């Protein structure tokens, strides 16, 4: 019996993976989609026309980048809807506003006018009854030291050249953000407790936990 049937994972489930840069979202997205035979919605970095420029000059490009990410995530949302679910999504739309845009505004690298324009667009697009929330958000957590090692190991030069204080600030914000997140059920995973790069045996306990949450009888999907 395959793992999807074994743990009664609905074919139309939408699972989003959240966590700071380098924590292991894309790796777990691929491992889970393989094990569950779900489609992936991956964050594209190589084709992003603003990302390199943004890391060179936050204040010049932060607004452009947020608008670009919002458009990309919204297109992905539409694709997921059109397929009728059955997706693992690499990063949630909630992190764009709750972590990145907010951080750049509060740190002075996004102007107040740009931040207000961005948040009003975000709210008009996302905070509506028509926007489907995921069935589950998997939150990946780990120590700052482990995450910095992973950023280094992955080797994107724009990230490696970014001061450690930026990643430290983001790490702290993520911890606060997840404690107040309530748009859908959350499964917290510590990156030292699994190894998505190892064999399928490591992924099965995660799928078991996913199944338990998705099959809770009192869970009503928020719209
Ligand atoms: N379970 C793991 N054990 C060891 N290294 C990992 C694991 N998961 C991811 N990595 C490594 O960490 C780096 C960042 O992973 P990635 O999935 O790209 O993170 P994210 O998508 O969250 O930015 C990559 O080099 C990846 O190979
Ligand atoms: N909304 C965002 N604002 C700024 N930067 C962002 C946003 N979403 C993703 N990013 C950056 C962070 C990383 O450099 C790349 C890819 O993210 P990752 O966590 O490695 O998948 O994009």
Q: Is residue 222 assigned to a domain?
A: no
Q: What is the pLDDT of residue 21?
A: 98
Q: What is the pLDDT of residue 218?
A: 56
Q: Is residue 155 assigned to a domain?
A: yes
Q: What is the pLDDT of residue 219?
A: 60
Q: What is the pLDDT of residue 132?
A: 84
Ligand 2 neighbour 45 (Cβ under 6 A): yes
Q: What is the pLDDT of residue 90?
A: 97
Q: Is residue 23 assigned to a domain?
A: yes
Q: Is residue 17 assigned to a domain?
A: yes
Q: Is residue 223 assigned to a domain?
A: no
155 burial class (0-12, 13-18, 19+ CB within 10 angstroms)? exposed
Q: Is residue 188 assigned to a domain?
A: yes
217 burial class (0-12, 13-18, 19+ CB within 10 angstroms)? exposed
Instruction: Report the candidate in 212, 205, 192, 190 with the shortest Cα–Cα distance to residue 32.
Output: 205
Q: What is the pLDDT of residue 201?
A: 75
Which residue in the block uniquely carries the two structure tokens 């607004």?
63
Euclidean distance between CA atoms 165 and 217, whole angstroms = 43
Ligand 1 neighbour 199 (Cβ under 6 A): no
Asked if residues 213 and 185 have their Cβ atoms less than 8 Å apart, the reply is yes
Counted domains in the chain: 1
**DSSP one-letter string for 30-89:** HHHHHHHT-EEEPPP-TT-SSHHHHHH-HHHHHHHHHHHHHHHHHHHHHHHHHHTS-EEE
Own/partner pairs for 214-220, CB < 8 Å, 24+ apart? 214/8, 214/9, 214/10, 214/13, 214/135, 214/136, 215/8, 216/185, 219/185
| Domain span at 210 | 12-216
Report the separation in Å between the CA atom of 143 and the middle of ligand 1, taken as the mean of its atom positions: 14
Q: Is residue 2 assigned to a domain?
A: no
Full pLDDT tens readout for the chain, 223 residues: 799 999 999 999 999 999 999 999 999 999 999 999 999 999 999 999 999 999 999 999 999 999 999 999 999 999 999 999 999 999 999 999 999 999 999 999 999 999 999 999 999 988 887 788 999 999 999 999 999 999 999 999 999 999 999 999 999 999 999 999 999 999 999 999 888 777 667 899 999 999 999 998 656 565 5
Which ligand gives the minimal distance to the CA of 53? 2
Q: Is residue 137 assigned to a domain?
A: yes
Asked if residues 98 and 177 have their Cβ atoms less than 8 Å apart, the reply is yes
Q: What is the pLDDT of residue 223?
A: 54
Report the separation in Å between the CA atom of 220 and the middle of ligand 2, taken as the mean of its atom positions: 30
Instruction: Report the candidate in 193, 216, 219, 215 with the shortest Cα–Cα distance to residue 206.
Output: 193
CATH, residue 53: 3.40.50.300
Q: What is the pLDDT of residue 3?
A: 92
87 bridge partner residues? 14, 39
Asked if residues 94 and 77 have their Cβ atoms less than 8 Å apart, the reply is no
Ligand 1 neighbour 29 (Cβ under 6 A): no
pTM for the structure as a whole = 0.95
Which residue in the block uniquely carries the two structure tokens 């190991």?
153
Q: What is the pLDDT of residue 131?
A: 82
| Residues that are catalytic | 90
Euclidean distance between CA atoms 80 and 76, whole angstroms = 6
Q: Annotated binding site for ATP: which residue ranges?
A: 19-27, 150-154
């Amino acid at each position: 019996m395959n793992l999807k049937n074994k743990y009664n994972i609905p074919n139309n489930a939408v699972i989003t993976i959240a966590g700071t840069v380098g924590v292991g979202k894309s790796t777990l997205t691929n491992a889970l989609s393989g094990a569950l035979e779900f489609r992936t919605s991956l964050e594209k970095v190589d084709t992003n026309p603003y990302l390199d420029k943004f890391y060179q000059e936050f204040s010049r490009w932060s607004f452009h980048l947020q608008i670009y990410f919002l458009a990309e995530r919204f297109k992905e949302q539409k694709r997921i809807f059109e397929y009728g679910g059955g997706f693992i999504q690499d990063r949630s739309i909630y992190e764009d506003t709750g972590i990145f845009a907010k951080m750049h505004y509060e740190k002075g690298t996004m102007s107040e006018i740009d931040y207000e324009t961005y948040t009003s667009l975000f709210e008009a697009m996302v905070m509506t009854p028509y926007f489907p929330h995921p069935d589950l958000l998997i939150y990946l957590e780990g120590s700052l030291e482990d995450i910095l090692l992973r950023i280094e190991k992955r080797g994107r030069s724009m990230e490696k050249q970014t001061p450690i204080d930026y990643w430290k600030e983001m790490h702290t914000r993520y911890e606060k953000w997840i404690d107040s997140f309530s748009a859908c059920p959350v499964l917290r995973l510590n990156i030292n407790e699994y190894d998505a790069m190892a064999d399928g045996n490591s992924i099965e306990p995660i799928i078991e936990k996913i199944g338990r949450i998705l099959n809770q009888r009192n869970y009503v999907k928020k719209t």
